[in-house]
Amino acid sequence: MNHTHRKVTGTIDGRKFEAPHGATLLDTAKGLGLTIPTLCHHPGLPPDGNCRLCLVESGGRLLASCMYPLRSDGEAFLTASPLALEARAFVLRLLLARAPNDAYLLGLAGELGVGADPRLTDGADGCIRCGRCVRACRAAGSEAIALVGRGRERKVAGPFFEAPIDCVGCAACARACPTGHIAYSEEPRSIWGRDFDLEPCPLCGRPMGTPEELRRAGVENPVCPACRRREYSKSLMGLPEASFPAP
């Protein structure tokens, strides 16, 4: 059955919404101008509901709004009810135990008046295990890293906890990390314990990227963007009345 054109109605914090069937609660709340704090959500990546910051209440139930699809009419959600705020404060304490120095978390903690749970600070490595890096890696076209282990052992790692062999060094993971936990260097390129060569542009010699990332992009005989512009501009020079784009 095709639901593409079906609309769903309900309320968030008492405000009426009409959303496409299957839209997420978070996106719909954003559309109403409401702010729900998120950390593992990335608008360009599939939601995973890992950080639990975006919890909201619906009739005594707590829902991760980033991945709650709106499918039935008449639901009422509360983003700042006592239950939702209590749950959010609890989650925040756990997240702060992992990443005690993250500016965004500290800001939220200030608003809600909570601090890191002092019993849990031995795992404070800056990573909140949200897997945004893992999703970014897959979206970029590789599957070099994954969330491995369970419970307190859980962490992001390459296979067998070694430097990931499928990593192309694009660093999309590090740019997607909400807490800035993944250390990397652009030039020379190194990340996840691996050092990468940087392919020089055959025309000007400037580094274009790692050979692995250029191969992943499927580019044959790569040339740097500046030289690509130069190359095709040349062909337009000899034509006095030429203009482009051509019809």
Partner 1 sequence: MTQKTIQVTPSRCIGCLNCELACASRDWGQYFPAGSKINLVFFKDGGQVPVTCFQCDEAPCLRVCQTGALARDEATGVIETDPSRCVGCRTCVSVCPFGNIAYSRPGRRVEKCDQCQGQPRCAAVCPSGALTYVDDAKVVQARRRAFAESLKEVAKEALK
Other beta carbons less than 10 A from residue 124's beta carbon: 14
- Nearest to partner 1 of 18, 186 (CB atom): 186
Q: Among positive and negative, which fits the CA dihedral 178, 180, 183, 188?
A: positive
Residue 203 near partner 1 by CB under 8 A: no
Q: Which of 186, 202, 204, 205 binds partner 1 (CB under 8 A)?
A: 186
Give a three-class secondary structure readout of 172-225: HHHHHCCCCCCCEECCCEEECCEEECCEECCCCCCEEECHHHHHHCCCCCCCCH
Report, in Å, the least distance between residue 230 CB and partner 1.
5
- Nearest to partner 1 of 186, 197 (CB atom): 186
From the list 47-55, 78-86, 97-105, 166-174, the region that binds partner 1 by CB under 8 A is 166-174
- Nearest to partner 1 of 84, 167 (CB atom): 167
Q: Which of residues 78-137 bind partner 1 (CB under 8 A)?
A: 136
Helices (H), 78-118: 82-98, 103-112
**Distance from chain centroid for Cα 34:** 20
Count of residues near partner 1 by CB under 8 A: 44
Residue 222 near partner 1 by CB under 8 A: yes
Residue 237 near partner 1 by CB under 8 A: yes
Q: Among positive and negative, which fits the CA dihedral 63, 65, 71, 75?
A: positive
From the list 70-78, 94-102, 109-117, 226-234, the region that binds partner 1 by CB under 8 A is 226-234
* Residue that has been written with the tokens 């890696």 in this structure: 137
Tell me the residue type at 156: V
Provide the b/e sequence for 15-32 (b: ≥16 CB within 10 Å): eebebebebbbbbbbeee
Report, in Å, the least distance between residue 159 CB and partner 1.
21
Q: Given the DSSP bridges, would you call strands 207-209 and 199-200 parallel, antiparallel or unpaired?
A: antiparallel
> What CA–CA distance (Å, rounded) separates 25 from 23?
7
Report, in Å, the least distance between residue 66 CB and partner 1.
14
- Nearest to partner 1 of 61, 228 (CB atom): 228
Report, in Å, the least distance between residue 80 CB and partner 1.
23
Residues in touch with partner 1 (CB under 8 A): 42-45, 136, 139-141, 170-172, 175-176, 186, 208-209, 213-214, 216-219, 222, 224-230, 232-234, 236-237, 239-247
